[in-house]
Amino acid sequence: MKEEKHILLIAYYWPPSGGAGVQRWLKMLNYLSEENIRCTVLTVDPIKASYPIRDESLLSEVSPNIRVIKTHTREPLNAYKKLTNSKESPYAGFANESNPSVVKKIARWVRANFFIPDARIGWNKFAYKKAKELLDTEHFDAVITTSPPHSTQLIGLKIKRNFSIKWIVDLRDPWTDIYYSDLFPQSRWAKRKDKNYEKLVLENADDVIVVSQSIKELFLSKGNFSDKKICIIPNGFDHKDFSSSETLRTQKTGSLRIAYTGTMSEQYPIDAFINALTVIKSDVDLHFAGKITQSAQDKLKPFNLNVKGFVPHNESIAELQHADVLLLIIPQIENNEGILTGKLFEYLGSKKPIIFIGPPNGDAAKIVNKCECGRVFDYDEGDKIAQYLEELSMLKSKNQALHSPNNEEIMNFSRKNLAFSVKKLIEGK
């Protein structure tokens, strides 16, 4: 029998925090714990944390084989909520806030220049103290730090400097090049400091995991790093989530039901989609679940719009299973070719046709095309979207299959298969 490996995952976002980043490592560790790997998670006390979204349902998905250790923290974002009279913590890039007040603008300036790389750095002192205690008393084969928040990577950097241990860095998003960085009034000094942190993490990590080829190329441009040092392990879907939803089927007759899950901020252009809805003759029902800007809701209201807001993960899966077709939009921003939103992979898992609006040469578009799971449209192709909607509506009216996805390609993105890639890194293969 192979010797059991023991890993320490340091992650700020862990159930009951919600979102794709949480599910990435929750699902990964569930499968790793079945593969002779002992998993310890070091995370923040959820009572003191500042989560943008919470999903209590994810707590029931944590394997009993996973040990979870929680620590104290100091959270300036909780003070920000009180100062601005906000009901929720801001999303990354303040995507859930529009038309900020003077107080919020000042708060953003403080965040940009005094909390580097981010405002959750108040957790680092407590997390490192506990990590040191664990590493002093127990044997671990690897430490994995996952971000955002990128401040978590500084915990790993300090561990690497003080302990002889394999350090794997998981960077789910770009760091200093993240699309919302321009929203912050950051000084040159602050930008330099942030870029220096980024470079130190990349230089000192033993392995770096990213979610797409474009993000890999972005980090490779930061210094003289070996191509082999950066490994691509995308987000994925858990086939178990969908096998438990087999009874959820779309209606064979009636309007074409279109679903969208997740965040839709101001950077998500919907004009082409609205133009398509305006010209088609078929009836559609729109079902959106997530944080949708008011301006987007106002534009979509004439088209039988139903907005649920944030829903637990299992309900989000149910929305996909009930739908005829799924809408996926990539933000229209610089360097968006590398954006691989987590919802894409759960869309794949649902095996429903996808209306993809975004850069046709981007990583997400390539996956949609390779998996034959929908059509790719540029931001100004409303007429082509309309044609596709009419085609899907006609197929539904005839009770015919709406598409034939490439199931073999789709399974490459199953959480179980992706966990094997992480296992190889842990074992040094």
> Residue ranges per domain, the chain?
5-236+414-427, 240-412
Beta sheet of 374-377, edge-to-edge order: 305-307, 284-289, 256-261, 325-329, 354-357, 374-377
Q: What is the pLDDT of residue 109?
A: 62
User: What sign results for the dihedral spanned by CA atoms 18, 23, 24, 26?
Assistant: positive
Superfamily of domain 5-236+414-427: Glycogen Phosphorylase B; (3.40.50.2000)
Whether 354 and 343 have beta carbons less than 8 Å apart is answered as no
Cβ-based neighbour number of residue 46 at 10 Å: 15
Name the nearest CA neighbour of 341 among 421, 261, 404: 261
Quick one: pLDDT band at residue 52, thresholds 50, 70, 90? confident
Task: Please report, for residues 181, 221, 350, the alpha-carbon distance to residue 318 in angstroms, rounded to integers and kept in the order given.
Answer: 34, 41, 9
Whether 10 has a pLDDT exceeding 80, the answer reads yes
User: Is 167 or 89 the better-scoring residue by pLDDT?
Assistant: 167
Residue with tokens 């915990």: 155
Determine the longest span between alpha carbons in the chain, in angstroms: 68
Q: What is the pLDDT of residue 339?
A: 86
For the record, the structure tokens of 324 come out as 């005829």
Mean pLDDT is lowest, of 220-229, 345-354, 403-412, for: 220-229
Whether 33 has a pLDDT exceeding 70, the answer reads yes
Q: What fold is seen in the domain 240-412?
A: Rossmann fold (3.40.50)
Q: What is the mean pLDDT of residues 320-328?
A: 95
Q: How many whole angstroms separate alpha carbon 259 and alpha carbon 403?
A: 16
pLDDT of 361-407, one tens digit each? 999 999 999 999 999 999 999 999 999 999 999 999 999 999 999 99
Whether 412 has a pLDDT exceeding 90, the answer reads yes
Quick one: pLDDT band at residue 86, thresholds 50, 70, 90? low
Whether 149 has a pLDDT exceeding 70, the answer reads yes
Quick one: pLDDT band at residue 245, thresholds 50, 70, 90? very low
Alpha helices in 1-97 (DSSP H): 20-32, 76-84
Residue with tokens 């095309």: 369
Whether 247 has a pLDDT exceeding 50, the answer reads no
Residues 6+ apart with CB under 8 A from 245: 317, 318, 321
